[in-house]
Amino acid sequence: MRKSHSIEPAHIFSVTGKFTTLKVNPKHLPSRPYTLHCFYSCTMRLHLSIWAEDLPGTSIVGTPDPFAVVTVLNDDPGRRPTLVGKTETIQNTFSPDWTKIMTLEDFELGASTKIVVSIYDDNKRNDVPMGSTLFDVGSVLGAKGSILAKEIKGGGVVAVHVEPATESAILHFQLQGKDLINTEGLGLMRKSDPFFELQRLRKSLRSGGKVWDTVFRSHPVDNDLNPLWNESYIDLQTLCSEKRKQKLRIAVYDFEKNGKHVPMGEVKVSVEELVAAISKNVHGSANTALTLKKEGNTTGQLVVLAANITEEEGRSSKVVVEELEEEINAEATAEMEEEITVAAENEEVVAEPDDLNMISPTFVNYIAGGCKLHVVTAIDCTATNGDPREPNSLHFFKDKGQNDYEDALNDICTILSKYDSDQQYPLLGFGAKRNNAVSHCFLFGNEANGVDGILKTYRDTFRAGIVMSSPRNFSELIHAARKEAKAQLVRS
């Protein structure tokens, strides 16, 4: 969808709170140029998740045990970065998929919020740096799927996913394995050490194909083919983006200290199906079991001992989960490698969205939901701005610094550009004579590439000469942007 933004400096008309229709009579506008834009202004809490692929080694021999630290850079150069959080350590892997979700407080649209992701090899004596990279949170939100990946020095790719931190419902669950097939030979001396993971689909950083992303990892139960895992809690936003019919994967592995965990079986199930498995129990009757499969063969069962959803109003689900986990004294999550497994091409994964929660939608909600933003800029070319050749004109180009129009174009378009899908910007004008007639909507050259392209096109056009006129009427610009928006919807 293409939205129109008339970008001029000095006075700013902002719309805050719920979305509102803003009506402006051009006759009542101030004599100085103005900036007309419509933002949903608010601060938000965001959830950050991180993973990496093909990280560089830190020694000639051995495989690293990586963890990541996230910090926010402060605007004041004298202040130290603010710690957001630290992931768990995953043993023996070059491609860690950390499960810990971090929270970024008070993100504000328009403010420049930069985070540094630093990766270390966990060493008992001294942690070894593996590389770091800088992300602009706005750029991550504006990227497809709100996922942005960057290469780090020495090799490897780090990705950050950002989504709104909602007051999500919480899934309380407990699973038990039953009659799992032993992966330790005949099992005369020892048995498998099973643990399970809850996984959701995402795209691979390298191939672009679908891979299973781990969002929860249990502890391993030693030497047991009927393991009883601890009660656990996870918020539904993290697990399935609140889509309770979305198919997830529960994958069971035999834990190995070298990080090369052996698959023991898997099953695909939705949150609704987990809860339904419990609701089928009547007066202590047998629990409904989920069948584990490996390469088409049955390898055991998962019994759902608990699966219920609770709503926590007015409190962060992240805080609630942490409190609940403390209450049941869950053992520390084992530090294990996440071995990314590519989903088979013929694998059918059904996603059926729940009823949408339309209470107080924010700009971030729209971006995270797939809304595309195309920015259109427009310049007031009426004679009320003064002769561009005179210093008192708002279009006068200074020897040092920028004029008011350049400041407004740079400031606002820099913010909006993070969410524009193609970085190509039509620069329009109104109120100037074209072919001996006043035009209220005309294009300055070709579409500009990036914010620097907008500034260059503006300067080149005015330096080449323009016949400024009147009146100030931008209604044709709005109609042109509306027409282009409809065309964009047809093309998509």
DSSP sequence for 283-305: TTPPPPEEEEEETTEEEEEEEEE
**Which of helix, strand or coil describes residue 406?**
helix
The conformational region for residue 86 under phi > 0 = left, psi -120 to 50 = alpha, else beta, is beta
pLDDT of residue 492: 59
- Label the pairing between strands 34-36 and 11-13: parallel
Residue reference for tokens 């992240």: 318
Q: Which residue segments constitute the domains of the chain, with CATH numbers given?
A: 2-40+363-491 (no CATH), 43-164 (2.60.40.150), 170-327 (2.60.40.150)
pTM: 0.57
Per-residue pLDDT of the chain (492 residues; tens, 9 = 90+): 333 333 333 322 222 222 223 333 444 444 444 444 444 446 778 889 899 988 988 776 678 899 999 999 887 777 788 899 999 999 888 989 898 888 888 887 767 889 999 999 988 778 889 999 999 998 888 888 788 899 888 788 999 998 887 666 889 999 999 999 998 876 567 899 999 999 988 776 666 677 888 889 999 999 999 999 999 888 887 888 778 888 999 999 999 888 889 999 999 999 999 988 875 544 445 556 899 999 999 999 999 998 988 875 544 555 555 555 555 443 433 333 333 333 333 444 343 434 334 345 667 666 766 677 788 888 888 888 888 888 888 888 888 889 888 888 888 888 888 888 778 888 888 888 988 889 988 888 788 888 899 999 999 988 888 888 888 888 888 888 888 777 777 765
Residues in CB range of 231: below 8 A, 6 or more apart: 172, 173, 174, 306, 328, 330
Contact between 449 and 399 under an 8 Å Cβ cutoff? The reply is: no
Q: What's the CA gap between 25 and 202, in Å, rounded?
A: 48
d(CA 228, CA 302): 10
231-241 b/e (C-beta count within 10 Å ≥ 16 → b): ebbbbbbbbbb
User: What span, in angstroms and rounded, lies between the C-alpha atoms of 142 and 372?
Assistant: 9
CA 434 to CA 438: how far, in whole Å? 6
Pairing of strands 2-4, 374-380: parallel
Judged by DSSP in three states, 335 sits in: coil
By three-state DSSP, how is residue 420 classified?
strand
